[in-house]
Amino acid sequence: MHNKTLAQISQDLQAGEYSSVEVTQHFLDRIKNLDGQYNSFITVTDELALTQAKAADELRAAGNANEWTGVPMAHKDIFCTDGVRTSCGSKMLDKFIAPYDSTVADNFNKVGAVSLGKTNMDEFAMGSSSESSFYGAVKNPWSEEHVPGGSSGGSAAAVAARLAPGITATDTGGSIRQPASFCGVTGIKPTYGRVSRFGMISYASSLDQGGPIARTAEDAAMMLNVMAGFDKKDSTSIERDVPDYRADLNKSMKGMTIGLPKEYFSKDLDPVMAQTIQDAIKEYEKMGATLKEISLPNTNLCVPAYYVIAPSECSANLSRMDGVRFGHRCEDPKDIEDLFKRSRSEGFGDEVQRRIMLGSYALSAGFYDAYYKKAQQVRRLIKNDFVAAFNDVDVIMSPVAPSPAFKFGEKSKDPVSMYLEDIYTLSTNLAGLPGMSIPAGMINDLPVGLQLIGNYFDESRLLNCAHQFQNATDWHTKTPTGLK
């Protein structure tokens, strides 16, 4: 049952092959039996899930079901879920029972989906390896020595390990695409403003965007149909109709132009990775697409711009974690300053503290123009590169990351090397474009993703490209070795 895709489970439930309670119980059992190995969940909401499943079965019996009724899924632990701990992978929020639902969680509740629980992640979504969680590192189901990527490592690992057919995630600098690549699953980061950020705990407000991780493009489309939409509770949300993301899945690739940014395929790219990606892109040529070299001249500025903007915004976004109204509070504070300082230092891990300090410094007196403002100007230059490129091409393809999954501890001691991990993914967050990762090959028995970057609001085209690739290849059906 767990090898079925979301779409198949949805069909089976509609066809009465099994009940929602049965499929829910099946996934809950798998999580219970196997997740000790992966640590991909922070919280499993068994009771709530079974209650939702039972209600879904009753709804179906009454003839009021839709395609989502009773379909199990899970949320990254960054989305607030009313009455359920929402920790963001941090000791700071270990006791934070969210008193409200994020719009994304609410959307899934409204269509009658069943939430199995909350998945593990880098603390406050800051990281590329899911090693910085207060709840311990997530293991890559393909190799226990390797990281699953981050920050949505729990979501990607759980989907790869068949612990849930689809899980929500977020992406600020590659946090959906890089773990999807490392775990051999499919993930899409939509256009900025497409999925509501309301109730999604902010890391960097102007970059954060929610999206799904699932096994196939079709499943991702099905999830995005629920997640996407205008939300008046989010000022940055875009008031624009949402298409049915499955409508275009079967369009032909004939006549489509794929842009290959020369800066992404420079001599610095590992030759094995380059070959793997080029092999994948050849599939598109076979399907009738044409390739075109393009240039994104400001590519080298993405990492520096990102590491000004994201820390600056996070330094303010995380100030509300002060030990006064919710979250961790230190023992016996001697005065208010002591309460603030010790609560925060005890509650936050090193990487979070590092980014808060970096941001505080970049915003401090006299540096705003040189750092934050400068980085926001550079963002526009980066965006302009893409706008120009999309005059000539329909979609851009590239590696997701410089390498397949790396080993635990390999980069966690050196932040800069970890930051460079995001070199191919940051640009879409900075420009606000949609980006996707699909399984496209294997290197040293580890999966490798192909990155698809689309024009603004062109998620349908990305999903179409991904679906066509998955029709032609079987990378997305590969199962981690030894998976039960």
Partner 1 sequence: MEWEVVIGLEIHAQLATKSKIFSGSSTEYGADANTQANIYDLGLPGVLPVFNEEALRMAVKFGLAIDAEIGMKSVFDRKNYFYPDSPKGYQITQLHEPIVGMGHIDIDLGEGKSRRINVTRAHLEEDAGKSVHEGFDGQSGIDLNRCGTPLIEIVSEPELRSSKEASAYFRKMQSIVMYLGICDGDLSQGSMRCDCNVSLRPKGQEEFGTRTEIKNVNSFKNVERAIEVEIERQMDILEDGGSIKQETRLFDADKNETRSMRSKEVENDYRYFPDPDLLPVIIDEEYVEAIRATLPELPEQKKARFEAEHGLSAYNASVLAANREMADYFEAAAGISGDYKMTANWVMGDLSAALNKNEISINEIPVSAEQLGAILKNVKGNDISNDGAKEVFNAIWQGKGSDVDQLIDQLGLKQVSDTSAIEAVVAQVLADNPKLVEGYLNTPEDKRAKAIGPFIGATRKAAKGVNPQVVMEVLKQKLNELG
Partner 2 sequence: MSLDTNQVLAIADLARLQIDEKSITDFQTNLSNVLDLVDQLQAVDTNGVEPMAHPMDAVQRLRADVVTEVNQREKFQKIAPSTADGHYLVPKVVE
In 3D space, the residue among 390, 105, 437 whose CA is nearest the CA of residue 280 turns out to be 437
- Asked if residue 345 binds partner 1 (CB under 8 A), the reply is no
Catalytically annotated residue among 90, 132, 175, 412? 175
CA atoms of 427 and 435, how far apart (whole Å):
10
| Contact with partner 1 (CB under 8 A) among 76, 118, 139, 197 | 197
Helix axes 459-472, 271-286, angle to 10 degrees: 90
**x/- map, 92-121, partner 1, by CB under 8 A:** -x--x-xxx-x-------------------
Partner from partner 2, partner 1, none binding residue 28, C-beta < 5-8 Å depending on class:
none
| Contact with partner 2 (CB under 8 A) among 61, 111, 336, 388 | 336
Query: What separation in angstroms does the CA of 379 have from each of 45, 126, 246, 302, 340?
Result: 40, 20, 31, 8, 34
| DSSP letter for each residue of 380-441 | HHHHHHHHHHTTT-SEEEEESSSSS--BTTTTTT-HHHHHHTTTTTHHHHHHT--EEEEEEE
Name the residue nearer to partner 1 (CB basis): 109 or 236: 236
Tokens standing for 298? 């400001």
Partner from partner 1, partner 2, none binding residue 353, C-beta < 5-8 Å depending on class:
partner 2
Name the residue nearer to partner 1 (CB basis): 142 or 307: 307
Q: Is 319 a catalytic residue?
A: no
Find the binding residues for partner 1 in span 355-384 (CB under 8 A): 360, 363-365, 368, 372
Partner from partner 2, partner 1, none binding residue 374, C-beta < 5-8 Å depending on class:
partner 2
Catalytically annotated residue among 87, 151, 343, 427? 151
| Contact with partner 2 (CB under 8 A) among 54, 91, 292, 354 | 354
Partner from partner 2, partner 1, none binding residue 356, C-beta < 5-8 Å depending on class:
partner 2
- Token pair 């290849």: residue: 473
HEC secondary structure over 125-180: HCCCCCCCCCCCCCCECCECCECCCCCCHHHHHHHHCCCCCEEEEEECCCCCHHHH
CB < 8 Å & 24+ apart, contacts of 46-53: 48/83, 48/84, 48/115, 49/24, 49/114, 49/115, 49/116, 49/117, 50/21, 50/24, 50/25, 52/20, 52/24, 52/112, 52/113, 52/114, 52/115, 53/19, 53/20, 53/21, 53/23, 53/24, 53/25, 53/114
Q: Is 76 a catalytic residue?
A: yes
Name the residue nearer to partner 2 (CB basis): 260 or 387: 387
Q: Is 151 a catalytic residue?
A: yes
- DSSP one-letter code for 3: T
User: Taking the complex as a whole, how short is the minimal distance between the CB of residue 470 and partner 2, in angstroms?
Assistant: 28
User: Taking the complex as a whole, how short is the minimal distance between the CB of residue 367 and partner 1, in angstroms?
Assistant: 9
- Asked if residue 94 binds partner 2 (CB under 8 A), the reply is no
| DSSP letter for each residue of 185-196 | -EEEE--TTSB-
- Asked if residue 307 binds partner 2 (CB under 8 A), the reply is yes
| Contact with partner 1 (CB under 8 A) among 32, 110, 232, 478 | 232
Find the binding residues for partner 2 in span 414-453 (CB under 8 A): 414-416, 419, 431-433
- Asked if residue 350 binds partner 2 (CB under 8 A), the reply is yes
- Token pair 């008193």: residue: 99
- Asked if residue 301 binds partner 2 (CB under 8 A), the reply is yes
Find the binding residues for partner 1 in span 293-322 (CB under 8 A): 312-313, 315-316, 318-322
Name the site residues for partner 1 (rule: CB under 8 A): 79-80, 86, 88, 93, 96, 98-100, 102, 197-202, 204-206, 232-236, 312-313, 315-316, 318-322, 324-326, 336, 340, 360, 363-365, 368, 372
